Amino acid sequence: MAMIVIAVGAAFADHQNKIVSDQAVRADVLAKVNLIRAKLEGNINGNLQLVQGLVATVVTEPYMGQQRFASLASNLFGRGSQLKNIAGAPDLVISLMYPMDGNEKAIGLDYRKDERQRVAALRARDERELILAGPVDLRQGGQGFVGRIPVFVRSAGNTERFWGIISAVVDVQRLYKASGLLDADLGIDIALIGKDALGPGGEQFFGNERVAKSNPVTADVLLPSGSWRIAAIPKNGWPSTPDNAWFLRAMMAVAGALVVIPFLVTGRLIGERQRNYAELSRLSRRLELALEASAIGVWEHDLATNELTWDDRVNEIYGKPTGEGRGYLDWAGAIHPDDLAAAHADFDRALAGGGPYLSEYRIIRPDGEIRHVRSKAIIYRGANDTPKMIGAEWDVTADVLLNKDLVRAKQLSESKNAELESARARIEHIALHDSLTGLPNRRYLDQVLEDYAADARRAGLYAALLHIDLDRFKHINDTLGHAAGDAMLVHASTVLRSKVDGEGFVARIGGDEFIVLCVVDDDIEQLALLADRVISQMREPVYYQGHRCRFGVSVGIAVDNGKDVEAKHLLVNADIALYRAKSRGRNRYEFFTEAMQSEIVDTKRIADEILGGLERNEFIPFYQPQFDAKTLEIVGVEALARWRHPEKGILAPDVFLRIAEELNVVSIIDRNILEQSLLDLEGWTAANLHIPRVSVNVSARRLQDEELIKSLRELNIKKGTVSFELVESIFLDENDDFVTWNLEQIKELGIDVEIDDFGTGYASIVSLLKLQPRRLKIDRQLVIPIVKSPQRRQVVSSIIEIGKSLGIEVVAEGVETMEHAQTLKTLGCDILQGYAFGHALDADGLKAFVRSRRLRTAS
């Protein structure tokens, strides 16, 4: 029986020895793990907490550039920081970086295309919270833990939009080293599990895989978005038997019968336990020092007894003396009344869900100072399966105050942005509207035209554009002043608004031009009715300061044909139709047609050919001889412009003159004809052909040329050899002092002045007296009928008598028969010109004509 007792005692002692040894070893490992866990949490949270301040600044400055970003980020890299770099990725593409050196390869990285980082980046965006990922292989080299913080900014309309990601990269090796994972004398093997903060279910990313399979001591590292699991075992694995096991067994076997041996063995075990506890105390002290250095306090709450234990750092945060017991009321009583309900709610929510616990609230210290505290904890089962909560608290007052300053700065910025937006809207309205009429302007029309036509097409309708130009507006503006002109424009805009009646778009695109943009179906007659209403209303008189003003409008209409063409061509087509309306008498409307387009194309082609012809000297003079009515001797020639077209041959002015006037090149043609005529005149003289003078046509525009007299002097024109033919309807009775001066200078140069097409204009006797031309040329329309029409003959006779009475020679053109010549001679006409004597000839043809007449006369 005694042996049984001894054997049982020995077995019990051996078992107890193993339990104590295992507990001591596990306690030692746990103490080291807790120290490393605390350092990891402190380092990670500390680094990422710094970046939160930068995020708040980005929210207020969403368009900051690299320089501003680098300036802010550089303040976060202090001594002891494990931050490797901070990157800004607007729209998930990295474009902001600090530091830039060594990280250039990361610029331009699109998280959506990077398989290694895409999931974590999109998760941060979608969950709208900080996501810690890693370790990840960095594009710029090395590894890091990447904390990605989504940034949402306020846009117009006070709506939130996703700006992008702020990523903070914590250097893996520096974090491991700062947290003690790489200490050579650590004495334990550690594995970190939970890559990308996925906790125990994640991948292992540090340490040997055998650690997790060897019944390790574990602890959870709480991260901003998840956790890691630390697993640790002794360096050489768990001992299978205590070091003193065989010694104890031998002693018990040798002195099993002795009573004293059990007491000795017990004493030895007690001593061993005390040493283990001493070692545990040492490790606990190291943990305290680490927590002290990180300014984080630790507390424990027994959920069964409601007992609360604070360390010295928590007491310091709350302003409480150390060494005193704490209870729930100490904590609740210190919380600011306004935050108590929220703090309770956070606590109750953690209890209901089994943790973790996270809360932030204000406390009132005994001296009345208010501090902001952040608390984080987990729930675990202690001895006797008692539920407990252990956590950490740290003072975040400085961070909160900084955030408040940033919020105030953001609010101020938003207020200024609102003012700027209001000012921008006013400026944009001014930029898009005519200040006089309040109508949209040309710029506004350009913005809406394309969309207007597209909307009409989608609705199965057609966009139509009416281009409206005021007739006689310039006359009112010039005679009554600009104020009267402005009043007419305002009246016109009112009329157009009333006729469109809100169903169209009315704009003033410049000067006296307006646009009406509307939508029609297949029946375009409604556009004709609208144009008629506008024209009719515009005809009504407008009273301005006692004056009865009248003006009309010409309207060009173009309809979108539904083809895939740019809508801006509507304006071009309507302008073409407007030009046709004006050319047909004004105060009317015209629809754009394909025929008009063809005409414009032909006109453009001819215009290009005219300009090319001027460069190639294709415009030449043809000469029609003029004869003395009595002797039938040649007394001069009229130089007529002809175009020697390279493909179509000789072309008369009716083919090109209108287009040349539109191109403003008639004066150039006139000058070329004059210069060539002078050369031909010299050639005839050298050939002993007597051509007394040459008459050339001069346009009204050339008479207004300030350089005209200077260019004529340079030609050294011999007096009496050149006459300028001026169309009667262009200049007579016009009070243009400059034109009058030019004409006087022309006369002084010895150049005669002739009135062409006399009888078709509105010249008065006073005008003839004022101008004193050398000759009058009766228009062919009056000359041709004189043989059969006594009335026309009388008119011609009267013109001849007027010329005689004023000492002006009279030239008749259109003399087609010798009967015409005889009649005109009888009436007293001085000079005859027409087909009865000869057609227009080029210089060589005229030379041959003169020689043949000379031969006939001689024979």
Catalytic residue numbers?
512
Closest CA to 538 of 556, 555, 520, 517: 555
| Cβ atoms 596, 589 nearer than 8 A | no
Phi, psi of 426 (to 5 degrees): -65, -45
What is the spatial distance between Cα 711 and Cα 696, in angstroms, rounded to a whole number? Answer: 16
| 110 CB neighbour count, 10 Å cutoff | 14
- Burial string for 153-191 (b: 16+ CB within 10 Å, else e) reads bbeeeeeeeebbbbbbbbbbebbbebbbbeeeeeebbbb
> Helix 397-432 to helix 442-458 angle, to the nearest 10 degrees?
90
Which helix (H) or strand (E) element contains residue 676? helix 666-686
Torsion angle defined by CA atoms of residues 433, 438, 439 and 440, in that order, rounded to the nearest 10 degrees: 10
Closest CA to 254 of 243, 262, 268, 242: 262
What is the spatial distance between Cα 138 and Cα 129, in angstroms, rounded to a whole number? Answer: 22
What is the spatial distance between Cα 644 and Cα 655, in angstroms, rounded to a whole number? Answer: 12
Cis peptide bond prior to 135, omega within 30° of 0: yes
Beta-bridge partner residues of 752: 723
| Cβ atoms 374, 360 nearer than 8 A | yes
| Cβ atoms 184, 124 nearer than 8 A | no
Token pair 């987990």 is at which residue? 378
Token pair 């003169």 is at which residue? 850
Residue 98's Cβ-count burial label (10 Å; 0-12, 13-18, 19+) is buried
Which helix (H) or strand (E) element contains residue 97? strand 96-98
Token digits of residue 491: 């009246």
Token digits of residue 288: 């305290």
**DSSP summary character for residue 195:** G
Residues 6+ apart with CB under 8 A from 45: 223, 224
Token pair 């040459």 is at which residue? 694
Q: What's the distance, Cα to Cα, between the start and end of the chain in Å?
A: 184
Look at strands 694-697 and 722-727 and give their pairing.
parallel
What is the spatial distance between Cα 85 and Cα 103, in angstroms, rounded to a whole number? Answer: 8
What is the spatial distance between Cα 103 and Cα 139, in angstroms, rounded to a whole number? Answer: 8
Which helix (H) or strand (E) element contains residue 173? helix 172-178
Token pair 């051509």 is at which residue? 691
**DSSP summary character for residue 93:** B
Tell me the H-state helices in 354-441. Answer: 397-432
Closest CA to 378 of 227, 231, 195, 230: 227
Token digits of residue 7: 């054997």
| Cβ atoms 41, 356 nearer than 8 A | no
Beta-bridge partner residues of 510: 513
Closest CA to 761 of 743, 773, 778: 778
Token pair 């809508």 is at which residue? 567
